[in-house]
């Protein structure tokens, strides 16, 4: 251990790759997908995003922020893109999963919520396989149309595994309130990108 280099303490630095910032990927990239979906007459769009978008101070918004305030703001750019999808006129479902688990799906009770209310729970994660199943079921169930919601799974063994997805979507009738978003993210590309 005596030979390990000593490094100044503090938070590690993080940089996004060229053309890989949240503004470019999560906002302008989604705008391009929305435009393509319209041109191709795609009947339904299912978007997987992230919980935490109502909190400007969420840790994910601080990753990669430059000294001028641009960069980073992942969740804020995601919400701005989601709002564009909501206003696009396309048929959509937006899913905000909790922390993703590398575990088998189909074994837990799934829980819906909105506006990051589920972040108040002690356990707020979900197997990736369950998120994938919710995406597929969102295409098949009318109860998931034109909605944005958060989703987590109860701990294994608590309650019966979700199999009735129409019932799951009916268990929470509200949709994410984009009016609760914490404001505009700081644009590094004030003139946008041609789409």
Closest CA to 146 of 97, 91, 95: 91
Question: CA-to-CA distance for 8 and 127, rounded, in angstroms?
Answer: 37
**CB atoms inside a 10 Å sphere around CB 143:** 18
Which sequence positions are flagged as catalytic? 50
Q: Cβ distance 83 to 178 under 8 Å?
A: yes
Residue 84 C-alpha from the chain's centroid: 14
- What b/e string do you get for 100-124 counting C-beta neighbours within 10 Å, with b at 16 or more? ebeeebeebbbbbbbbbebbeeeeb
């Amino acid at each position: 251990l005596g030979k390990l280099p000593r490094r100044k303490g503090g938070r590690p630095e993080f940089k996004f790759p060229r053309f890989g910032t949240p503004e470019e990927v999560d906002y302008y990239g989604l705008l391009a997908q929305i435009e393509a979906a319209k041109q191709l007459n795609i009947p339904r769009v299912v978007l997987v995003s992230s919980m935490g978008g109502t909190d400007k101070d969420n840790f994910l918004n601080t990753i990669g922020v430059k000294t001028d305030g641009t960069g980073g703001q992942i969740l804020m750019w995601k919400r701005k893109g989601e709002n564009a999808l909501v206003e696009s006129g396309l048929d959509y479902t937006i899913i905000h999963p909790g922390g993703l688990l590398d575990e088998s799906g189909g074994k837990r009770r799934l829980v819906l919520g909105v506006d990051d209310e589920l972040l108040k729970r002690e356990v707020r994660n979900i197997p990736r396989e369950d998120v994938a199943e919710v995406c597929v079921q969102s295409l098949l169930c009318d109860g998931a149309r034109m909605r944005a919601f958060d989703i987590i799974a109860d701990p294994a063994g608590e309650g019966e595994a979700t199999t009735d997805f129409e019932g799951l979507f009916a268990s929470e009738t509200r949709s994410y309130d984009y009016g609760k978003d914490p404001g505009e993210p700081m644009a590094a590309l004030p003139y946008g990108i041609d789409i």
